[in-house]
Every structure is written in C-alpha cells, then in structure tokens.
Amino acid sequence: MAENDTITIRVDDRIEQALAALTRGGASPTAAIEQAILESARRAAPSAPTAPNSIDSQTLSVQRKLTREQLLEFAERGFIVIPDVIPPDILAAANAAVDERLREHPPAEGHAGPHFLFGKWDEEPALAALLRDTPAFALAEELTGDGAMEYPWQTQVALTYPPYTDDRGMPHIDGGMTRKADDPPRTFTVLAGFFLTDQDDEDSGNLFVWPGTHRQHAQYFRERGPDAFTSYPDITLPERVQIRGKAGDMLLKHYMVGHNVGNNTSDRVRRTVYFRLRRRGHEATWREVLQDPWHDFTPLRPLVSAFEKNDEPGS
C-alpha cells in the first residue's frame, strides 16, 4: 500500500465519518449528530479486551482508498482482500451478535459443513456496523463511484463447521441458477465479506473462488443471451483459489465471479459475514449487468482496456 493511501484516524475524526454514514442511511441531520456523538463516546470508552487481535483502539491505521493495483486486481481477477478494515471493538461486537444468533438458531448436534444465518440489515446493528461504521462502505463505493452504492437489505452469517470437504468441485453464481425462467434473477454488484475468524491457512473454511470467471461468464451471456442464466454457464474453469484473510479483513468480490463454500479441516468454526451490495438502479439492468462485467463499475472502465481489448461487449 502506498503511504498516501493510509491515513491515521483519531477518535474525534470518527464523528465526521459516522455523520456521513448516518445521513447517507436516511437519518435526519439532528438525529445523525446525536447518534454520531453517542457513537464516538461509545468508541472512546474503554472496552473489554474481547477482540481476537487487540490493538490500540484510540488510533487505527486503516486504508481508506483503493490503490490502482487493487483496482486492477479486482478488474482482472474479480476480487481483493483489504487488511484491517474492522477495528477490534466492532469485530468483537459482531462476534457477540453471531454468538447470540447461534444460541437462537444452532446447527443440529454434530453438524459438519456450512450453516448460514440470514437476517435483516435493519435488525442486525452489530453486523451492519461492519459495513456502515468503518471505511468498508466507502472502499466498496470506489468500485462504482462515489454515492453510487446502496446499503443492503440483508445480512448473511456464513459458518463452516469442521470437518468439511467440498466435493462439488464446481462454482456457482448467486441468485439465478435455480430460478424459473419468468422470474428475474437476484443479481447484485459486489459481495462484501468480513472475516470474523482468521482464514489465512489452507482449508480453514476459506471461500473458494474461480479467478476471472466474471469476464468468462459475461462473454458466455453475450453469446447466449442473459436469459440463459438459469443454470451454471458452460465455461472452461480456471484453477480455483482459496481466499485468505485474517479476522478484521474485508473481501470485495465481483458479483459474477464463480465461488463456493470452501473446505474446513481446521479445528475451528469458520465465521464470515456477507453483504450483497447493489449499485443504484441495478435491478432494472440485470440483463446488461450479466453481459457487461463493467456495467456497474464506471471507475474501472478506463483501466480494463489492457486485458479486455478484444472482449468488450459489442466488439
């Protein structure tokens, strides 16, 4: 990361950050100011050291701008992992919220494999905070342009209980593979994932992804038409990779990158929280989105010509 891509945030600066986030979410300016002050006071108060990797909560060094290399990597491979986006107090609160959800909805006794808990954004403040009260949303918005992204309506807690080995060997694309032909697919723009546990070892529940398949899938839908999205596209798959990250890191993944639940042969339950983000106006344009991997990503368009010269829609 280049030095001028990093900024030091002190507790007082968070008032400004929280205000921007809160007013964007539709709150009145007065309510936003009250909430921002309360939020800043809450953060400034000493908290119990429950975070897995405790660091100084008064001063955080976080990346607030994606580098050109990260933008290029996202465009080419379809995903990036940004380290240390989540401060320890927000991480600890999210883990506590997951503990609570698991008390209400535990997996079956002896369960091994994926266990998903879906909730509503408005009803899960400790999970929403991962995206709303950190630099995460602004970082995601850099892919679509300032002010272009919407907050999601849903939260997903993705857990993988060991021992689990994925035997499908195949990716999927969310939201369309089992739809009825007359129903529009539930496409979106970017998957934002937050690691609540370390996933930096091989087979520790890391998400499986097939790099670059967002571009292959778009090519397929240009050839067959977007209404062909009722099953997984018949493409030659590249080698899959495991997404690696530490608790507190954030994944940004292009919607159309093929992915799947990864193996967990570690001795710990894997925890990730996902949000499916849409660019404003996305839903009406799902046919264009499936054919043009840059449809929602205006800032990426000038960067992609190097590897997309002969592969642009309409060429």
Q: Of 202, 206, 221, nearest to 295 (Cα)?
A: 221
User: What's the order of all strands across the beta sheet hosting 208-209?
Assistant: 241-242, 208-209, 259-260
User: In degrees, to the nearest 5, what angle opens at C-alpha 214 toward C-alphas 21 and 180?
Assistant: 90
Q: How many residues bind ligand AKG (CB under 6 A)?
A: 9
Q: Which of 94, 157, 207, 250 binds ligand AKG (CB under 6 A)?
A: 207
User: CB 174 → ligand AKG: shortest distance, Å?
Assistant: 5
**Do residues 282 and 188 make contact, with C-beta atoms less than 8 angstroms apart?**
yes
Q: Does 271 bind ligand AKG (CB under 6 A)?
A: no
Q: Does 60 bind ligand AKG (CB under 6 A)?
A: no
What does DSSP assign to residue 264?
B
Residue type, 236: T
Q: Does 158 bind ligand AKG (CB under 6 A)?
A: yes
Q: Does 259 bind ligand AKG (CB under 6 A)?
A: yes
Q: Does 272 bind ligand AKG (CB under 6 A)?
A: yes
User: CB 170 → ligand AKG: shortest distance, Å?
Assistant: 11
Q: Which of 174, 200, 311, 312 binds ligand AKG (CB under 6 A)?
A: 174
User: CB 206 → ligand AKG: shortest distance, Å?
Assistant: 8
Q: Which is nearer to ligand AKG, 126 or 207 (CB)?
A: 207
Count, residues in the chain: 315
Site for ligand AKG in 83-102 (CB under 6 A): none
Helix (H, G, I), strand (E, B) or coil at 306: helix
**Measuring CA to CA, how many Å separate 190 from each of 46, 47, 138, 232, 257?**
35, 33, 13, 19, 10
Q: Contact positions toward ligand AKG, by CB under 6 A? A: 114, 158, 160, 174, 207, 259-261, 272
